[in-house]
Structure 1
Amino acid sequence: MSRSPSVRMTPAERRSSIALASLFACRMLGLFLLLPVFSAAAGSLAGGDDVKRVGLALGMYGLTQACLQIPFGMASDRWGRRPVVLAGLLLFVAGSIVCALSEDIGWVTVGRAIQGAGAISAAVTAWLADATRDEVRTRAMAMVGGSIGLAFAVSLVLAPVVVGWGGLSALFWVITALGVGALAVALWAVPEAGAQARAAMPRTALRHALAQPDLLRLNVGVFVLHMVQVALFIVVPALLASTGGFSAGELWKVYLPVILASFVLMVPVVFATETRRIHRGALLASVAGLFGVCAALPMASQAFPSLVVALIGFFLVFNVLEALQPSLVSRVAPAAHKGFALGLYNTAQSAGLFLGGAFGGWLVAYGGPARVFEAAAALALVWLALAWGMKPVTDVHRANAAGSARRAA
């Protein structure tokens, strides 16, 4: 029996999904490129020897993202996805140029705030929801999640090479170019879609999204994941440099094999999760793995080989979670409220990015790298306790279907 066309992506859905995933990847690559090298290379800037100011500059992007994510999403409901996404990308490019021209950590912080003011993640995910049917939306969201994980992996290899060649200024010019590329995708590659669906969006989306306990758990999860990610990368580049004898421009020699190993290990995990429908189990195992890695880092960071092994473990669980969680949000959210649910999810992610930089910098200044690792382990343990209460995805689907039937009646 042939597969039903209703569960296949149409050419328009496939084009929209690929284009929006590439737009997301370009923009997130522009964000992630700083993480592997900024703490080690910020010394070239005036004020860059103050770890608290470095942490603030690294996390400032997330603060303005967190403040403006939902307003941008609401604006896209009113005026359309494309104009709002283009406006946000123009802000991202402008902030990148400010950073590229800056010689002081204070101006880099200002540029990062302008970058983050283009808070389009919710608008982009809502655009993707407009462009896809319910039957294929999970796959489309998983493509976006996978593109974010890939962008992070590429950043770990590309950033040290660019900084070694032209310094931080060159890195910010590369980020500017990525923003321009995302602008081109948004302008020409993605078809407009879903105007009628936006007009029919229920006005009770906020109440229904906030009433979903599992969505709240996923929002806490992405907050913790990105807070831990940024906090760790305030200290990890310097530790790799000191224990392995690498300069900031040579760190790609460490990141490349680490990322390749983690992706090889990730593929069977993701495949087993999808084929066996063990999303809840995969989530719990990955969060437990994050806790284990963070708890081991105080000892593992004392020697280069053990630090590399710990990083492989971290990237394995990070990439699995980065692909799994957006897919879970799209599965758990009620069908009528996916756009707003994804907006809340992206807001939580942005808040984690900001607090990871600010809190991580403060911990390093007053307690050293070990305090960062201990705090990260504690956060992962809290996340694991919360995630334990999640329902299997099949149960959520049945509950959502029953609720839709009651409302229809």
Structure 2
Amino acid sequence: MKLTQLEKKAAFSLAGIYSLRMFGLFLVIPVLFIHAQGLSGFTPILAGLAIGIYGLGQAILQIPFGYLSDRVGRKPVIIVGLLIFAFGSVIAANAESVWGLILGRALQGSGAIASTLMAFAADLSRPEMRSKIMALIGATIGASFVLALVAGPWLAGQIGFAGLFWLTAGLAMVAIMVLQWVTPSADVRVGNLAVLPAQKQLQAVLADGQLLRMNLGIFLLHLFLTAIFVILPQQLIAKGLPLTSHSLTYLVLILGGFIFMLPALIMVEKKKAHRNGFIVAVLTLVAANLLMGFLNSLTGLIVGMGLFFISFNFLEASLPALVSRLCSTENRGTAMGVYSTSQFSGAFVGGAMAGAVLQYGNYQLVFLGLAAMSILWLFATFGIKPVATNL
């Protein structure tokens, strides 16, 4: 069965809106800590907070935004969220202190429209076609993340750090135009995707040990991501790699990670060896953090980054698919909502934690802490049970 023209229009327009917003959130991550050092009031802990605080707003507000969209409609809520995101970008672009930067990033994250976009996709699609549309949206998220990490350092050199935020604000306006002029309209179908957790559904999800392992995994994975980017850009420069070369370095490492990850993902799926795949991936994270923290050379950082991106790409692709399979159909949206909240919470904790450790210790302590958390995650993966593939 194929997507109808309306479903195609909805899928590509909503995926575009999602990706424009995520691109803007991630664009500054590879350069924020470096440029924050030129702002008044800079401390490592505040710069780390500025990197990760978008996750706090996302974690807290995505469910209230979703509930509101059930009452007043999807498009008005998405427009308000994008306007908040754009306003935060403007504040960050004009920030002269690190506190202004934190405020702008917090507002960027407060335009929390992820659950509303998913619910809108459900409104505009038949139940049997939703997995295809969700897969398309998921693919654009991954692509926007990769593009943002690669483009951020290069664009910062072309238009300046403030220019990144002005660009992000402009992209939010483009997203609003796409929503208004391209995305079809639809009646709200309250709860049709179960993206908003009812109490019984939430209790069932939180009581499921397998789902808790997946939520712990995505929490730690994005904690690692933001923590590493508090440390990494400055350490690359200190060890001889100029900021102008970071974009190409990230591009090579991310694409290399994808090339190595893809056959591993196919093999794990074919042999139904999810537990073993996770064990190897988490062990790779342990090795990556130890190399980046203690080899004390540019080679150590780059090899460690390469291992990190192999593992990150594998886990980022595997975790949401397993969450979807592990839960019942009626709890699937709730499970994905809890999963997304765990992801954004991890991003916030990672930035704040790495900044705090860097302020009172050194970067090697950060990587030591990440390696220790990876080992704890490893113990949790031992309890992963075989996952059915026909759900």
TM-score w.r.t. structure 1 length?
A: 0.86
| 2:41 is the alignment partner of 1:47 | yes
- The CA deviation at 1:133 is 5.0
Report if the CA contact (8 A) 2:122-2:193 is conserved: no
Note closer, same or farther for the CA distance 1:288–1:127 as it changes in structure 2 (3 Å cut). Answer: farther
| Separation (CA, whole Å) in 2 of partners of 1:83 and 1:20 | 14
Report if the CA contact (8 A) 1:100-1:170 is conserved: yes
| Separation (CA, whole Å) in 1 of partners of 2:259 and 2:22 | 22
Backbone CA RMSD of aligned residues? 2.5
| Separation (CA, whole Å) in 2 of partners of 1:322 and 1:131 | 26
- The CA deviation at 1:10 is 4.5
Q: Give matches, 1:7-406, under 5 Å.
A: 8-48=2-42, 50-132=43-125, 135-192=128-185, 195-196=188-189, 198=191, 203=198, 204-246=200-242, 248-300=243-295, 302-394=296-388, 397=391
Q: Deviations over 1:100-157 (max 9, x none)?
A: 1112111111111111111112222333344455555444434333323222221222
Q: What amino acid is aligned across from residue 70 of structure 2 in structure 1?
A: D
> Any idea what SS the aligned residue of 1:44 has?
coil
Note closer, same or farther for the CA distance 1:376–1:146 as it changes in structure 2 (3 Å cut). Answer: farther
Report if the CA contact (8 A) 1:55-1:357 is conserved: yes
| Separation (CA, whole Å) in 1 of partners of 2:47 and 2:101 | 9
> Any idea what SS the aligned residue of 2:37 has?
helix
Note closer, same or farther for the CA distance 1:83–1:326 as it changes in structure 2 (3 Å cut). Answer: farther
| Separation (CA, whole Å) in 1 of partners of 2:325 and 2:190 | 19
Q: What amino acid is aligned across from residue 330 of structure 1 in structure 2?
A: S
> Where in structure 2 are there 5+ consecutive unaligned residues?
none
Q: What amino acid is aligned across from residue 190 of structure 1 in structure 2?
A: T
> Any idea what SS the aligned residue of 2:239 has?
helix
- The CA deviation at 1:367 is 1.7
Q: Deviations over 1:200-234 (max 9, x none)?
A: 96954323333333222222111111111101111
Note closer, same or farther for the CA distance 1:335–1:171 as it changes in structure 2 (3 Å cut). Answer: same
Aligned to 1:400: none
Note closer, same or farther for the CA distance 1:395–1:264 as it changes in structure 2 (3 Å cut). Answer: closer
Q: What amino acid is aligned across from residue 350 of structure 1 in structure 2?
A: F
| Separation (CA, whole Å) in 1 of partners of 2:101 and 2:318 | 33
- The CA deviation at 1:353 is 1.2
| Separation (CA, whole Å) in 1 of partners of 2:355 and 2:21 | 24
> Where in structure 1 are there 5+ consecutive unaligned residues?
398-409
> Any idea what SS the aligned residue of 1:195 has?
coil
Note closer, same or farther for the CA distance 1:189–1:378 as it changes in structure 2 (3 Å cut). Answer: farther
| Separation (CA, whole Å) in 2 of partners of 1:181 and 1:284 | 42
Note closer, same or farther for the CA distance 1:171–1:260 as it changes in structure 2 (3 Å cut). Answer: same
Report if the CA contact (8 A) 1:259-1:315 is conserved: yes
| Separation (CA, whole Å) in 1 of partners of 2:269 and 2:131 | 11
Report if the CA contact (8 A) 2:122-2:192 is conserved: no
| Separation (CA, whole Å) in 2 of partners of 1:130 and 1:213 | 31
Note closer, same or farther for the CA distance 1:285–1:358 as it changes in structure 2 (3 Å cut). Answer: same
| Separation (CA, whole Å) in 1 of partners of 2:23 and 2:329 | 30
Report if the CA contact (8 A) 2:216-2:342 is conserved: yes
> Any idea what SS the aligned residue of 2:53 has?
helix
Note closer, same or farther for the CA distance 1:209–1:85 as it changes in structure 2 (3 Å cut). Answer: farther
Report if the CA contact (8 A) 1:73-1:343 is conserved: no
| Separation (CA, whole Å) in 2 of partners of 1:235 and 1:37 | 11
- The CA deviation at 1:185 is 3.3
| Separation (CA, whole Å) in 1 of partners of 2:266 and 2:148 | 24
Report if the CA contact (8 A) 1:20-1:144 is conserved: yes
| Separation (CA, whole Å) in 2 of partners of 1:108 and 1:119 | 18
Aligned length: 388
| Separation (CA, whole Å) in 1 of partners of 2:174 and 2:240 | 35
Q: What amino acid is aligned across from residue 88 of structure 1 in structure 2?
A: G
TM-score w.r.t. structure 2 length?
A: 0.90
